[in-house]
Amino acid sequence: MDDSDGAEERFTELAALEAIFPEIKKHDDPSAVSFSLDLPVHPSNPITVTYPAASGTAELTTATLTGSDEEAPGAMDSQVLAHLPAVNLRLSLPEGYPAERPPSVTISTTPPWLPLETTKKLEEEGPRMWEEMGHNMVAFAYIDHVQQAAENVFGLINDDGTLGVDPRHMISILDYDVRARRETFERETFDCGVCLEPKKGAVCHRMLECGHVFCTACLQDFYKTAITEGDLAVVRCLTPNCAKDRAAAQAEAGSGKRRRVRAFLSPSELLQMGLSQEIVSRYVTLKYKTELESDKNTIYCPRSWCDGAARSKKHKKPEGLELVEVSDDEEAEKSDEKDDKGKKTKKSEDPSERLAICEDCGFAFCSRCFQSWHGEFFLCIPRRDSDEITPEEQASIDYIAHHTTSCPTCGVPSQKTRGCNHMICFRCQTHFCYLCAAWLPPASPFEHYNERPDGSRTGCYMRLWELENGDGNDVGYGFLGGRANNRRRGRNQAVAVPRVREVVNVDDEDGPARPEGDDQQQQNAEVAVALEAPLVLRIGGQAPPRDQQPRGRGRGQGAGRPLATPAPPAADQAARGGRGGAIGRGTGGDFRNGGRRIPVRMRGRLDDALHPADAAWVRNFVEMALNDEENSEDSDDEEMPIVAPLVH
Amino acid sequence: MASKRIYKELTECTTSPPPDMKVCLWNESDLHTWKVALAGPASSVYEGGNYAVLVTLPTDYPFKPPTVRILTRIYHPNVTNDNLGNICLSILKPENWKPATKVSAVLQAVRQLLVEPQPDDPLEARIADEYRNDRNEFEKNARQYVTRYARGPPVFGDAPPAAEKSK
């Protein structure tokens, strides 16, 4: 036998192999006939692959957590794989083969997940078989042998049915499996349950959760319509009773952890089906919204233009297209609920937890009183829904709406007990007008009520002394304090029970014992009690010296006395006596020295419309009339001076 | 897609109809309106009755559920006791409807409802009460209805009644 014979035999063998394995690759090798071939490793049953921490190849007997082929998300990673990366077989038939020289074999895998020993053993088996077969053509027999060995993964499976692989290769092994599965899937044919047509796997989608297969055209059509119409509940598997059956199956299997069966689809799965980005992001947004709305504990931003939800641990705002899942774990949820309840019943909740931050506009506010965040050490009154409010409280709220004006800076409602309409907020020292809640320049607060240098007038022109006797029940409802307009604010008709501070009169030098005034102050005292509020307002400028003597009862008391509990307006007799005058800071202001009181009670812009001469006459007339009345009623020194028009 | 699927389903239902049923189109030109003749299931109180059932498939079927009405008067907790014969079937509610449900499955559910009324989800509360509390009376009444209305061949009428959704 000569070389050419040998070469002949080798080429014959190669040709035969090529007929059997068309995917054979030939290599240019001058010294030998050389070719290679990928042999897939598809275990007859899917196999659980574990990744023992011990790297290297020797230690394969590591115990694993799984005995079944169930995926066990445990301490150790493990997956059930149907496809392992193919074994690459490279055969070289040297000169002299098969009569004199054995074939040489190289075996490799990408990644090298096969242990070195195994590859070595396999490689050695080539020459050994050649020997056994009496130096005959052995290539096909050998390839077949390796293929068979691959079926039980070269005997690498442990006693517990798992296969240990170096953790370094985990990702690529997984990746290979996914790709291989996909390819197999694409070659298969499925009957889509919606259009009832047989479809190639390539245009189908297998539901990740339940494994049902539909054609992507049907899925896209259906989910697109559903999401566009906002019908999120139907965005789930299209098979009848799918979730129910799975739940039943799971209950039957009695798996230790009772995970709730997930029915809805993940956004990424919808993208996989080929739905447009736009639709999927609509899905994510709607889903999140529904989730928030179904949670009674969701706190919304009090800013009426925002309406965002407060950040919460339970519901994470979706980022991009990823829907952050609410924990599916029923148990976890239960314990959460318990926590919640525990917190509700416990009085000593952590005040810092009241801080809520709006997800959308970043507004930091108190989840209890829905005012902007006031720090932990501030006692605030919870906002309540309107149906929780008792008639007494409602009466208080109505009273506040009717008879107080809010400071334009800090919003604290203030009530005037008597005096002029120039107010100074006790809390923030803002000067403002009691009638229209406008800011007043501290330097020239009375310009608001006079003609301005340029001749223009405000709606409050000549109304400095309107409501002189205070804004209270007996004054009537004619003037709806500045808050009336704000009453509608807040969602669910929730009403903030605001803090009200007592008003201290500016102009009290004459404050005392007018029967009328006293009566009214008492009224106000009751009101303040009803409003459960600390006391606030101070009015006016500097006190003229002669006012410093407190006169009459109750004077000088009560400013800033907080009242802890709400009481019906007429109930708290005791508090009444205690507070009395609610006066105290006798401040009259220079304007008083002018002695101008213009108790004109005309409403609106009548003044503005009048000719100056007529206006003067009207004022005179009214003043005289009032004067008479006062003179008869009021024995104090206080008689209204007859007054010329207000200072110009 | 819709008409292709409907055509397939129709073929399936006519060649191998669900038990006790005969299926055909109301008229050949309209795939969406089906006539089903349903014989009262044996050993139920409706045995011996012949019921005219109207199945209407919406234009976006199978994405939206079909509607089913029993045109023949029937004494049943889950079927309105009137000429409309609206029927309460949970798989047909829009929120429960699954596009992979076939008409034949729906028809079988209708039949099953005759075998086993669901008094807990009634359309006729009075009949449901009677079914629960006085089964004899219920059966007597149901049989009376069978004799009075459902003896002959099922009567469909000339034209399909306008679809009305009562519930």
Residues in chain A: 648
**A645: confidence class by pLDDT, cuts 50, 70, 90:** very low
Q: Which of A134-143, A433-442, A522-531 has the lowest mean pLDDT?
A: A522-531
More confident residue, A584 or A465: A465
Identity of the highest mean pLDDT range in A56-60, A467-471, A571-575: A467-471
Q: What average pLDDT does the segment A197-211 reach?
A: 87
| C-alpha distance from A229 to closest chain B C-alpha (Å) | 12
Please pick, among B88, B103, B110, B114, the residue that the annotation labels catalytic.
B88
Query: Each residue of A299-336: pLDDT tens digit?
Result: 888 887 887 888 776 677 776 666 655 444 433 344 34
Gap between the Cα atoms of A503 and A192, Å rounded:
77
Choose among B91, B94, B100: nearest Cβ to A193.
Answer: B100
**A102: confidence class by pLDDT, cuts 50, 70, 90:** confident
Query: What pLDDT shows up at residue A5?
Result: 56
Closest CA to A645 of A449, A436, A466: A449
| C-alpha distance from B151 to closest chain A C-alpha (Å) | 35
Phi first, then psi, for residue A78 (nearest 5°) are -155, 145
Q: What average pLDDT does the segment A624-628 reach?
A: 68
A233 neighbourhood in chain B, CB within 8 Å: 95
Asked if pLDDT for residue A370 goes beyond 90, the answer is no
A:420-449 residues touching chain B, CB 8 A cutoff: none
Q: What average pLDDT does the segment B92-100 reach?
A: 87
Closest CA to A162 of A270, A65, A29: A65
Asked if pLDDT for residue A80 goes beyond 90, the answer is no
Query: What pLDDT shows up at residue A609?
Result: 54
Q: Which of A376-385, A402-411, B55-64 has the lowest mean pLDDT?
A: A376-385
**B143: confidence class by pLDDT, cuts 50, 70, 90:** very high
Percent of chain A scored above 70 by pLDDT?
A: 62
Identity of the highest mean pLDDT range in A109-113, A206-210, B10-14: B10-14
| DSSP-derived 3-state class of residue B160 | coil
Gap between the Cα atoms of B107 and B87, Å rounded:
12
More confident residue, A296 or A583: A296
| C-alpha distance from A217 to closest chain B C-alpha (Å) | 10
Percent of chain A scored above 90 by pLDDT?
A: 1
Say whether B88 is catalytic. yes
> At A354, which amino acid appears?
R
- In DSSP notation, A95-118 reads TTTTTTS--EEEEEESS--S-HHH
Query: What pLDDT shows up at residue B111?
Result: 92
What is the enclosing helix (H) or strand (E) of A37?
Answer: strand A32-41
A225 neighbourhood in chain B, CB within 8 Å: 60, 63
Q: What average pLDDT does the segment B82-104 reach?
A: 87
- In DSSP notation, A367-430 reads TTT-SBP--SS---PPPB-GGG--HHHHHHHHHHHHH-EE-TTT--EE---SS-SEEE-TTT--
Query: What pLDDT shows up at residue B109?
Result: 92
Tokens of B153: 């061949």
The verdict on A196 touching B (C-beta cutoff 8 Å) is yes
Asked if pLDDT for residue B130 goes beyond 80, the answer is yes
Choose among B63, B91, B101: nearest Cβ to A225.
Answer: B63
Q: Which of A248-257, B45-54, B158-167 has the lowest mean pLDDT?
A: B158-167
Choose among A195, A233, A240: nearest Cβ to B105.
Answer: A240
**A627: confidence class by pLDDT, cuts 50, 70, 90:** low
Mutate to test the interface with A, among B1, B7, B97, B103 (most CBs of A within 10 A): B1
Q: What average pLDDT does the segment A192-221 reach?
A: 88
Q: Which of A258-272, A440-454, B65-79 has the lowest mean pLDDT?
A: A258-272
Do the Cβ atoms of A225 and B91 come within 8 Å?
no
Interstrand relation of A162-164 and A47-50 (parallel, antiparallel or unpaired)? parallel
Q: Indicate the average pLDDT of chain A.
A: 69
CA distances to A110, A164, A585, B74 from A78, rounded to whole Å, are 20, 9, 79, 59
The verdict on B98 touching A (C-beta cutoff 8 Å) is yes
**A556: confidence class by pLDDT, cuts 50, 70, 90:** very low
Query: What pLDDT shows up at residue A375?
Result: 81
Do the Cβ atoms of B100 and A217 come within 8 Å?
no
Asked if pLDDT for residue A61 goes beyond 80, the answer is no
Asked if pLDDT for residue B125 goes beyond 80, the answer is yes
Going from N- to C-terminal start, the domains of chain A cover: 4-53+75-173, 188-249+263-294, 299-324+351-383, 392-491
Asked if pLDDT for residue A555 goes beyond 80, the answer is no
CB A162 within 8 A of CB A78: yes
What does CATH list as the number for B1-150?
Answer: 3.10.110.10
Query: What pLDDT shows up at residue A290?
Result: 83
Asked if pLDDT for residue A58 goes beyond 80, the answer is no
Closest CA to A469 of A415, A426, A400: A415
Tell me the CATH class for A4-53+75-173. Answer: alpha beta
Query: What pLDDT shows up at residue A629?
Result: 53
B101 neighbourhood in chain A, CB within 8 Å: 240
What is the b/e burial string over B24-47, where b = at least 16 CB atoms within 10 angstroms of the residue's CB?
eebeeeebbbbbbbbbbbeebbbe
Query: What pLDDT shows up at residue B1?
Result: 59
Gap between the Cα atoms of B114 and B51, Å rounded:
11
Query: Each residue of A483-499: pLDDT tens digit?
Result: 444 444 434 444 444 44
Q: Apex CA B102: angle with CA B96 and CA B106, to 5°?
A: 65
A222 neighbourhood in chain B, CB within 8 Å: 63, 99
What is the enclosing helix (H) or strand (E) of A433?
Answer: strand A431-433
Query: What pLDDT shows up at residue A478?
Result: 44
Q: What average pLDDT does the segment A178-186 reach?
A: 86
Do the Cβ atoms of A233 and B99 come within 8 Å?
no
Query: Each residue of A125-169: pLDDT tens digit?
Result: 888 888 888 888 888 889 998 888 888 888 888 877 788 888 888
**A242: confidence class by pLDDT, cuts 50, 70, 90:** confident
Tell me the whole-structure pTM to 2 decimals.
0.53
The nearest alpha carbon in chain B to A213 belongs to: B100
Q: What average pLDDT does the segment A490-512 reach?
A: 43
A263 neighbourhood in chain B, CB within 8 Å: none
A221 neighbourhood in chain B, CB within 8 Å: 1, 63
Query: What pLDDT shows up at residue A474?
Result: 52
The verdict on A216 touching B (C-beta cutoff 8 Å) is no
Q: Fold for domain A188-249+263-294?
A: Herpes Virus-1 (3.30.40)
More confident residue, A393 or A607: A393
**A254: confidence class by pLDDT, cuts 50, 70, 90:** low
Asked if pLDDT for residue B39 goes beyond 80, the answer is yes
